[in-house]
Copies of this chain bind each other. A is one copy, B any other.
């Protein structure tokens, strides 16, 4: 998935650069203007600083990195591990899961199984796991909204930069420089549009999908732990958990009806 994010950014940037260079590479110099970059990027950061708690802004880079390099969540593997744990629990009792704790890598599954082994009541286990799911969801939405706000304020500062440039140009109309003056003025609008539409808004969307995947796996884990605790048949557990996976992702996928 990371590949899609990076490929998209590279493709979009490449297309824009190519379309500029069609008439010769020297055209690129019309499009580089450091002050314009600073006013768009810096202005967006400034507005997000006003809008968000300091910590959220400090973690912006981290949120961006997650959008690009996020972990892949495998619902399939999670289900297999839960079914395997359910078989052990059914054959040897819940306490036997104690011996399999170290092979569980996912901390959320581990904490759920730990609580089951410790004999906490199913209602409490479910409540605690649900709270954790809510907290993860809230945290992810936070990160997504920070990136989305950069994407909202970047074009605004693009327009502010263009207005500043237009006023400077108009204040003393010099026929000799009117063209280049307007060209430079438009650069901030261009930068704001690219930053927002190619990078920030799509990254915010991707963070939403990363969140959806992680939450789905957590949901499956929660249902699995509850089922293990209830001593359900491993085969029934697998069947039940598989319904969370879209049919097209299931191992023995077949073509379906109309869509």
State the A residues within 8 Å of B (CB). Answer: 1, 3-5, 7-9, 11-12, 15-16, 18-20, 22-23, 27, 30-31, 35, 38-39, 42-43, 45-54, 57, 66, 70-71, 73, 106-108, 128, 131-132, 135-136, 138-140, 143, 149, 153, 156-157, 159-161, 163-164, 166-168, 170-173, 178-180, 182-183, 186-187, 189-190, 193-194, 196-199, 201-203, 205-206, 209-211, 214, 243, 246-248, 256-259
Contacts and interface: CB of A to CB of B under 8 A. Distances in A.
Given A15-B38, A170-B179, A173-B178, A203 B50 contact: yes
B160 A190 contact: yes
Given A49-B8, A170-B182, A209-B52, A107 B42 contact: no
A136 B247 CA distance: 8
B71 A4 contact: no
A44 to B, nearest CB: 9
Nearest to A106: B257
A205 B51 contact: yes
10 contacts: A4-B52, A8-B45, A9-B46, A11-B45, A11-B49, A15-B46, A47-B197, A70-B259, A135-B246, A156-B193
A186 B185 CA distance: 13
A22 to B, nearest CB: 6
Copies in the complex: 5
B171 A128 contact: no
Contacts of A20: 164, 168
Contacts of A153: 197, 202
A57 to B, nearest CB: 6
A50 B170 contact: no
Contacts of A170: 179-180, 182-183, 186
Given A8-B49, A9-B46, A206-B51, A190 B171 contact: no
B167 A183 contact: yes
